[in-house]
Amino acid sequence: MPTSSCLLTAARRRQSTGPRQACRAWGGRSYSREVSTSERPAAANHPAPVYFDAATAAPPHPVARQALLAALDDGWADPGKLYSAARRARQLLDAATEAVAATLQVRPDEVIFTGSGTAAVAAAIHGVFAVDGRPAPPGSVVHSAIEHSSVFAAAGDAAAEPVPVDLLGRLDLDRWRRAIATPGVRLGVLISASHEVGTVQPLPAALAAADASGVPVLVDAAQSLGRIPVPAGWSLLTGSARKWGGPPGVGLLVVRKGTRWTAPPSGAVGAALPTVVAAAAALRAAAAEASAEAARLAPLVDRIRERVAATVPEVEIVGDPVARLPNVVTFSCLYVDGEALLHELDRRGFAVSSGSSCTAETLRPSHVLAAMGVLSHGNIRLSLHRETTAAEVDRFLAELPEVVARLRAEIGV
């Protein structure tokens, strides 16, 4: 494929092993890496830390590490210049763009890299209204009540009343149809799958309703890319590389041809070339592995849902039990402070998320859980990844009941 041959050309210019490893990674065939001291199994009396927060940032995919090192060797120059080092950098950028386009089945000239997923969302929303050269009028953006905080921030005063969801976090399609058909609406925004509870939204029906009203839709696919398919019919799509095992500092924006959209000022989009190369390699690898990983992780999530409900009293499992991401599970424990639960689990070696992934540090209740009308006390989100093992899940399930019981006892419950 063009992407592999381009990296192979770059690798042949070098004699080090890094670029050659990256070529294998991009080709989707094999990879190898050294295991650092920190990655080696811990001693039996000191259990290894367990990372359950992939919905915030997944551990780097091995191919991302290899591609990053290769791109640092061959992609350090400015790809906009004309000398040989710049041309090599440009080849890597073109290869990365083509790899992403092929993975998402879009055109390469529809792919834009940004500095983060948040920047991609902002560029998508602002670019729709920049066509007219004036601010978005109030009520011209329709989105659900459970969007990522970046959508609320970018839409601002242009947002109409958020479309509600039910107790499982599913979009109210009737309300969406009415809202998207309202005169003056210029853009719909819908998350493909909830970053907080894992519920997959009814995108085909929502996109069909918007199309019938002639309204373009931005799909925030941050939690779906590299994990589950994203239905066709959208006009703009955004993602974040660190969610699929790419490096931090890379966002993705795809704008389909025919969409009325204006690019932000020069310098407002773009990311460092080596990280773009690594992000593209990771997305291609994650997408290739997605089906097998979903089949492996979904039973682990089922086990968590079943065992937590059976062993922890006064607990609510949150989110759709069927239409959900294969790697995310969220539950809330009555009479337990979420922050205290998070810290106690962290003390025992479990990295989890509590409440909203972007507002937890402010100690505000999650707007997603509030919109769903579910319990927000003692909320914990576990999001598994390609390195998660059944043994790690079993260890968590063995320790959780004791942790919850002890925290409740401390407040006399």
Tell me if 180 sits within 8 A of 142, measured CB to CB.
yes
**What average pLDDT score do residues 292-313 get?**
98
Query: What tens digit of pLDDT does each residue of 69-101 get?
Result: 999 999 999 999 999 999 999 999 999 999 999
What 3-state DSSP class applies to 253? strand
Residues 261 and 334 in one domain: no
Same domain? For 251 and 105 the reply is yes
* pLDDT for the residue numbered 332: 96
Q: Answer yes or no: pTM beyond 0.85.
A: yes
Higher pLDDT, 70 or 270: 70
- Considering the chain, what is the average pLDDT of its residues? 89
Residue 391 belongs to domain with CATH number: 3.90.1150.10
Structural domain contains residue 50 = no
For residue 47, which amino acid is it?
P
Q: What is the pLDDT of residues 382-392, one digit of tens each?
A: 999 999 999 99
| Of 239, 181, 201, the residue nearest 58 (C-alpha) | 239
> Token digits for 27?
């080709």
Segment 51-79 shows an average pLDDT of: 96
Q: How far apart are the first and last CA of the chain?
A: 62
Same domain, 253 and 156: yes
| DSSP single-letter state for residue 184 | T
| Structural domain total, the chain | 2
What was the pLDDT predicted at 33? Answer: 37
For residues 234 and 225, give the distance between their C-alpha atoms in angstroms, rounded to a whole number.
14
28: left (phi over 0), alpha (psi -120 to 50) or beta: left
Q: Are 240 and 224 in the same domain?
A: yes
Tell me 171's DSSP state: B
Residue 233 has pLDDT above 90, yes or no: yes
Where b means 16+ CB within 10 Å and e means fewer, 195-221 reads bbbbbbbbbeebbebbbebebbbbbbb
Whole-number pLDDT of residue 134: 85
Residues 112 and 261 occupy one common structural domain: yes
Domain range for 178 is: 84-285
pLDDT at position 221, please?
99
- pLDDT (mean) for 34-41: 41
The mean pLDDT value for 124-138 works out to 92
Q: Is the pLDDT of residue 30 over 50?
A: no
Contact 160, 149 (CB under 8 A): no
Secondary structure (3-state) at 123: helix
Mean pLDDT for 221-228 is 98
Report d(CA 47, CA 59) in Å as an integer. 19
The answer as to whether 58 is a domain residue is: no
* Of residues 14, 76, 28, the one with CA closest to residue 276: 76
Out of 235, 258, 285, pick the residue that ends a domain.
285
Residues 353, 214 share a domain: no
DSSP helix/strand/coil, 63: helix
Segment 225-229 shows an average pLDDT of 97
Could you tell me what percent of the chain has a pLDDT over 90? 80
Judge whether residue 231 has pLDDT over 70. yes
Instruction: Let me know whether 104 and 199 are in one domain.
Output: yes
Q: From 203, 219, 200, 387, select the one nearest 289 (Cα to Cα).
A: 387
Confidence of residue 61 (pLDDT cuts 50, 70, 90): very high
Domain's final residue, options 285, 318, 341: 285
383 part of a folded domain: yes
Q: Mean per-residue pLDDT for 35-48? A: 51
The two beta strands, 217-220 and 187-191, are parallel
Q: Flag whether pLDDT at 168 surpasses 60.
A: yes
Sorted by sequence, the CB contacts under 8 Å of residue 365 that are 6+ apart come out as: 355, 376
**Long-range residue pairs from 399-406, CB within 8 A, at least 24 positions apart, any chain:** 399/345, 399/348, 399/350, 400/308, 400/311, 400/312, 400/345, 401/311, 401/312, 403/341, 403/344, 403/345, 403/348, 404/312, 404/315, 404/333, 404/336, 404/341, 404/378, 406/344
- Asked whether residue 44 is assigned to any structural domain, the reply reads no
What's the confidence (pLDDT) of residue 135?
Answer: 86
- Interval 7-25 mean pLDDT: 37
Is the pLDDT assigned to residue 268 strictly greater than 80? Answer: no
Torsion-angle region of 82 (φ positive above 0: left; ψ -120 to 50: alpha; else: beta): alpha
On whether residue 65 sits in a domain, the answer given is: no
Residue 256 lies in a domain: yes
In sequence order, the β-bridge partners of residue 219 are 190, 237
Give the domain-ending residue among 285, 314, 343.
Answer: 285
Question: Are 195 and 242 within 8 A, CB to CB?
Answer: no
**% residues pLDDT > 70 (the chain):** 85
Query: Angle at the Cα of 310 (from 306 to 311), degrees rounded to 5?
Result: 120
Task: Render pLDDT for 281-292 as a digit per residue (tens, 0 to 9).
Answer: 999 999 999 999
Dist CA 47 CA 375 (whole Å):
32
Nearest to 55 by CA among 400, 307, 368: 368
Q: Same domain for 348 and 254?
A: no
Mark whether 347 and 279 lie in a shared domain: no
Q: Which residue has the tokens 């909203």?
A: 356
- E strands within 145-304? 187-191, 217-220, 236-240, 251-255
Does 405 lie in the same domain as 278?
no
pLDDT tens, position by position, 328-372: 999 999 999 988 999 999 999 999 998 644 444 555 778 999 999
Asked if pLDDT for residue 102 goes beyond 50, the answer is yes
Strand partners, 112: 253
Q: Coil, strand or helix: which one is 38?
A: helix
**Do 394 and 295 have their domain in common?**
yes
Answer yes or no: is pLDDT of 29 > 60. Answer: no
pLDDT for res 46: 63
Whether residue 321 has pLDDT greater than 60: yes
pLDDT of residue 365: 76
The CATH code of the domain that includes 119 is: 3.40.640.10
Do 219 and 357 sit in the same domain of this protein? no
